[in-house]
Amino acid sequence: MRALFLAFFIIFPLSFIGSLAQENSVNSLFPNVAKAIGNPHPEGSEYWRINHPDLLRHDRDKVVRDGERKIDASIKQCVTCHAVFGDDEKPVKADSEQFFCATCHEFAAVKIDCFSCHTSDPDVNFLEEALAQYNPNSGISDKQIEMMRAYLLKEKK
Partner 1 sequence: MSMFEKNKMKGADFHRREFLKKGAALASVTLASGVTLMALSQGAAASANPNIRWGLLIDANKCPSDCNACISACSNEHGWEDTGLDTDPQWIRKVTLKNKNTGRETSLPLMCQHCEKPPCVDVCPTGASFKRADGIVLVDRHICIGCRYCMMACPFKARSFVHEKIEGQKTSSPRGKGTVEGCNMCVHKLDAGEGTTACTQACETSGNGAMIFGDLNDANSEISLALANYPSVELRDDLRLNLGVRYKNI
Site for partner 1 in 119-148 (CB under 8 A): 119, 121, 123
Q: How far apart are CA 11 and CA 4, in angstroms?
A: 10
Binding of residue 90 to partner 1 (CB under 8 A): no
Q: How many CA atoms lie within 13 A of 149 on its CB side?
A: 10
Task: Give the containing element (helix H, strand E) for 65.
Answer: helix 45-66
Provide, rounded to whole angstroms, the least separation between the CB of residue 64 and partner 1.
Answer: 5
Nearest C-alpha neighbor of 130 from the set 90, 95, 89, 78: 78
Binding of residue 112 to partner 1 (CB under 8 A): no
Tell which one of 96, 118, 131, 134 touches partner 1 (CB under 8 A). 118
Residues that bind partner 1 in the complex, under the rule CB under 8 A: 2-3, 6, 43, 47, 50-51, 54-55, 60-61, 64-70, 76, 93, 116-119, 121, 123
